[in-house]
Amino acid sequence: MKTRDWPIRSKLTALVVVPVTALLALWIFATTLTFGPALDLLAARTFLYDLGRPGEAVVAELQRERRLTVVQLAGDEPLPALAEQRQRTDQAIDELRRRVAGEALREAADGPLEARIDRLVTGLDALPSGRDFIDQRKLDRAGAFGLYNGMISSAFQTFAGMAALPEPDLNREALAVTALGRSRELLGQADALLAGALTAGRFAAGEHAQLVQIIGNQRFLAGDAVADLPATDRAAYQRLTEGEAFVRLQAMQDSLVAADRSAAPPVDPAAWQASYDAVQQQLREFELAAADGLTDRSVPTAVRILVRLAAAGVLGLVAVVVSVLVAVKVGRSLARRLTGVRGAALELAEHRLPDVVTRLRRGEHVDVAREAPALEYGDDEIGQVGRAFTEVQRTAVRAAVDEVTLRRGLNEVFLNIARRSQGLVHRQLALLDRMERGTEDPDELAELFQVDHLATRLRRHAEDLVILAGAAPGRGWRNPVAMVDLVRGAISEVEAYDRVDITAAQPAGVLGRAVGDLIHLLAELIENATAFSPPGTRVVVSGERVANGYALEITDRGLGMSDAALADANRRLTRSPEFDPAESARLGLFVVARLAARHAVRVSLRRSEAGGVIAVVLLPTDLITEEPALAGLDTPGRGPGRPDRRLTRGARRATAPRPRTARRGAGDGSPAIGRSAPVPPRDGAVGPTGAVAPDDPVEASAPPTPETAGEIDGLPRRVRRRPPAARPRHPASDTPTPRPPEEVRRMMSALQSGTIRGRQAAEEARPGPAPDVAGPVPPEDAPPAPSDAAVAPEPPTETERDA
């Protein structure tokens, strides 16, 4: 039995219950041992009147029937007196059966006494069959003599079973009275043998020796029994033996012992009968008187035992109660004090320390002495433990204060570094913007766009530090932004943006206060999808309105995640955890969870049926608005708001980037001619008038028409063009040189792409319903897909997934 893990209250209860239970058991045992003998003494009267008196009457009647039976068997004629005697014997036996069947006697008798009573009743049941044998003279005198002796012996064995009193003196006296009864039975046996011999005129073979033996046993038993009687009873018995009848009977016994066994008995039958009847009656009365006196003396003895029992029982019960009260009081005191120490420990670990840490993170002042009050539990060992735990509490609170202070300082360091990086990145983006606007060489412009894209990604990484520090990024929008533009802005911040497709996006708008954070959140998830899926697969983004807001799904075709990894990732995404430097490999999940918690956005991951993982982003209803109208765009067949931006699969394929060989060779970082290089989104700047300048220039998906020259979707558009005047060339350059095959293929590809965009622009200019948009139109500075010669992908340190 392992008691080490028991609660302290259970241990104390065991310490109290076990000794008290043992003491109570001993008290009950002692009380039972004392109470049992008292009940036995009180049951002596029941034994006397329900078994002793009826049994003695049966023995007396059997003795008379035995004498008459022997006389009848010694003669030739039946005796009428025998039939009458049998009736009296049957009546005595019926009375005995009625008494021994009573519940009082059975409850008072123990097991051995009940067995002897059953044997007595069984022996008496054989009396009728024995009488039949006697009447048919199938039994001689010796057989009949033995039949009656057996039944009478069973009766005396039963009487001896009653003499089991707990008091030694009373028990010795009861045994003496029983021995006197046996002596009187032996006297009856001698009378029966002599009566048969007198009737027959002589002793049968062996009868004289048996008679002499019986007389000797009778005298021995009588003398031995009288020695155990009280003095008064011994004196009474002495007076009885000095009587005339007893003396005359003893003289005739002596003459019988000395007589010739072959001659007739030398006694007068009448004188013997008179002396025998007188002595038998005196002895019976003496036995009954002694039994009554024994019963009367047993009652006061039982009362004295009960009084001692009551006194001992009361004292024992008082001792048990006092022990229980003391044990319970001490146990409760120990349990209460130990429970108090335990409660203080749990209160510190589960409530006080977390509350202190929360308050410290909110910037509140914490008093160590107030938050860790002293625990007073006395001066014993428990009190010493309480004082020691008080010091532990204060040390823990001070450690929490120091830890939060250190964490706050670390966050400030992160924030300071991030703000500096953000400032440098913003200045770099502004410089790149000026350089892009000032250059007219398409190759240089493409490289500047590529650098612009890298700077945009650097800006997102700097925002990660701001989020880790618990602050909000600096980017913000004042007006709602279309959902499709928000998704395009997120795609533009991903390295492998050319692998991302927008298959469907129902019209909707997002409040400006959440645009920056949502672009960052989606960029983290899209980057995660592209990083953990094969390079030749596509990442699909779709969105639709749902009952609880707007749902965006990002689906990849990667290796997927195990059930345990999905459960762990979803658990991290459902709450906004504190940043743990030990889990630096999971910064992406932390950033996404922080941004989602800031705007009550729900993000979850689930397994895709086609392989890979689907990231579901549910935007709440309070962030969703109607899709904002596009200023300055009112082409035929399409309203200013462009109500349908759902992209078809065919249109996506028409604008999908194709592998090309760069003019400067693969891997030099230059995009293909004829395609716009990626333009990273920038933070919108608030002008003097209060309008927010668009953050991300949008790449044109078709050549500008006269109505939309210089802008698309209401946003400024940068148009690539050749320099107005050819640069002076060296005379040697007039000599035509053969073009390499790669350059020719690149020029043809550019021509094909321009043709496709021109057709799409022409279709959009036709009157009638507006066709589906040919390709994804990113926000202001969202980049188009780069060629195969784009900058080599970097390790996705900003995202994480268990693959």
pLDDT digits (tens, 9 = 90+) for 377-397: 677 777 788 788 778 877 877
Could you tell me which of 429, 499, 502, 572 has the C-alpha nearest to residue 796? 499
Q: Please answer whether residues 585 and 608 qualify as being in contact, where contact means their C-beta atoms are separated by less than 8 angstroms.
A: no
pLDDT tens digits, residue range 18-29? 877 887 888 788
**pLDDT the model gives residue 90:** 92
**pLDDT the model gives residue 304:** 76
Q: Please answer whether residues 509 and 626 qualify as being in contact, where contact means their C-beta atoms are separated by less than 8 angstroms.
A: yes
Band of residue 579 on the pLDDT scale cut at 50, 70, 90: low
**pLDDT the model gives residue 510:** 93
Mean pLDDT within 146-165: 84
pLDDT score of 84 more than 50: yes
Mean pLDDT within 396-407: 77
pLDDT score of 717 more than 70: no
Neighbours of 143 (CB within 10 A): 13
pLDDT tens digits, residue range 340-355? 887 877 887 788 778 8
Alpha-carbon gap, residue 438 to 723, rounded angstroms: 11
| Range name among 323-337, 529-543, 571-585 with the lowest pLDDT average | 571-585
Mean pLDDT within 162-173: 72
**pLDDT the model gives residue 667:** 34
At 606 the three-state DSSP class reads strand
pLDDT tens digits, residue range 215-231? 999 889 888 888 888 88
**pLDDT the model gives residue 583:** 60
Alpha-carbon gap, residue 747 to 673, rounded angstroms: 7
**pLDDT the model gives residue 749:** 67
pLDDT score of 425 more than 70: yes
pLDDT score of 648 more than 80: no
Instruction: Report the alpha-carbon angle 306-310-312, nearest 5.
Output: 115
Could you tell me which of 746, 756, 781 has the C-alpha nearest to residue 672? 746
| Range name among 120-134, 588-602, 669-683 with the lowest pLDDT average | 669-683
| Range name among 330-334, 556-560, 590-594 with the lowest pLDDT average | 330-334
Alpha-carbon gap, residue 717 to 697, rounded angstroms: 7
Mean pLDDT within 424-441: 82
Band of residue 585 on the pLDDT scale cut at 50, 70, 90: low
Which whole-number Å values give the CA distances from 80 to 110, 388, 584, 679, in the listed order? 42, 108, 126, 148
The per-type count for the chain, helices as H runs and strands as E runs, is 23, 10
pLDDT tens digits, residue range 660-676? 333 333 333 333 323 33
Mean pLDDT within 764-789: 40
At 293 the three-state DSSP class reads helix
Q: Across all residues in the chain, what is the average pLDDT?
A: 74
Alpha-carbon gap, residue 526 to 615, rounded angstroms: 9
**pLDDT the model gives residue 699:** 35
Top pLDDT among 144 and 17 is at: 144
Q: Helix H segments across 655-740?
A: none
The 8 Å CB, 24+ separation contacts for 260-269 are: 261/203, 261/208, 261/209, 262/202, 262/203, 263/202, 264/197, 264/198, 264/201, 264/202, 265/194, 265/197, 265/198, 265/203, 267/194, 267/198, 269/195, 269/198
**pLDDT the model gives residue 163:** 67
pLDDT tens digits, residue range 254-282? 998 888 888 888 888 889 989 988 998 99
Band of residue 693 on the pLDDT scale cut at 50, 70, 90: very low
Signed CA dihedral, 159, 161, 162, 164: sign only: positive
Could you tell me which of 53, 33, 36 has the C-alpha nearest to residue 45? 53
Top pLDDT among 159 and 676 is at: 159
Mean pLDDT within 776-782: 38
Band of residue 363 on the pLDDT scale cut at 50, 70, 90: low
Band of residue 582 on the pLDDT scale cut at 50, 70, 90: low
Alpha-carbon gap, residue 41 to 46, rounded angstroms: 10
**Burial class of 121 by CB neighbour count within 10 A (0 to 12, 13 to 18, 19+):** middle
Strands 481-482 and 509-510 turn out to be antiparallel
**pLDDT the model gives residue 727:** 47
**pLDDT the model gives residue 364:** 75
Mean pLDDT within 455-473: 74
At 555 the three-state DSSP class reads strand
Band of residue 799 on the pLDDT scale cut at 50, 70, 90: very low
Task: Categorise residue 715: left if φ over 0, alpha if ψ from -120 to 50, beta otherwise.
Answer: beta
**pLDDT the model gives residue 166:** 63
pLDDT score of 33 more than 80: no
**pLDDT the model gives residue 766:** 53
Top pLDDT among 607 and 416 is at: 607
Which whole-number Å values give the CA distances from 73 to 77, 87, 263, 371, 760, in the listed order? 8, 19, 20, 114, 150
- Structure tokens of 384? 């010493």
Mean pLDDT within 546-568: 89
